[in-house]
């Protein structure tokens, strides 16, 4: 919908996991999910997810196509 804020969301997700002591893989997974959420709505911060919402885009979930 709107790419504004995607990079900032990515950085925020990465840094949030860094301060928690997460692995690089976990940091990147959270960063990618935060960036993905950010582009779902118009604006720069309106799409930022809460931590509990990040589980909605887990990599290990089955995808039905």
Residue 61: per-residue pLDDT: 63
Total Cβ atoms within 10 A of residue 49: 20
Residue numbers annotated as active site: 8
% the chain with pLDDT above 70: 89
What's the pLDDT band for 44 if we cut at 50, 70, 90?
confident
Q: Tell me: pLDDT of 21 over 90.
A: yes
Residue 63: per-residue pLDDT: 56
Q: What separation in angstroms does the CA of 14 have from each of 24, 29, 42, 47, 52?
A: 9, 8, 22, 16, 16
């Amino acid at each position: 919908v709107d790419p504004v804020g995607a990079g900032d969301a990515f950085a925020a997700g990465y840094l949030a996991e860094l301060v928690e002591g997460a692995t690089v893989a976990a940091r990147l997974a959270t960063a990618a999910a935060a960036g993905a959420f950010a582009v779902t709505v118009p604006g720069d911060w309106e799409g930022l997810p809460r931590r509990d919402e990040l589980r909605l885009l887990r990599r290990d979930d089955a995808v039905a196509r």
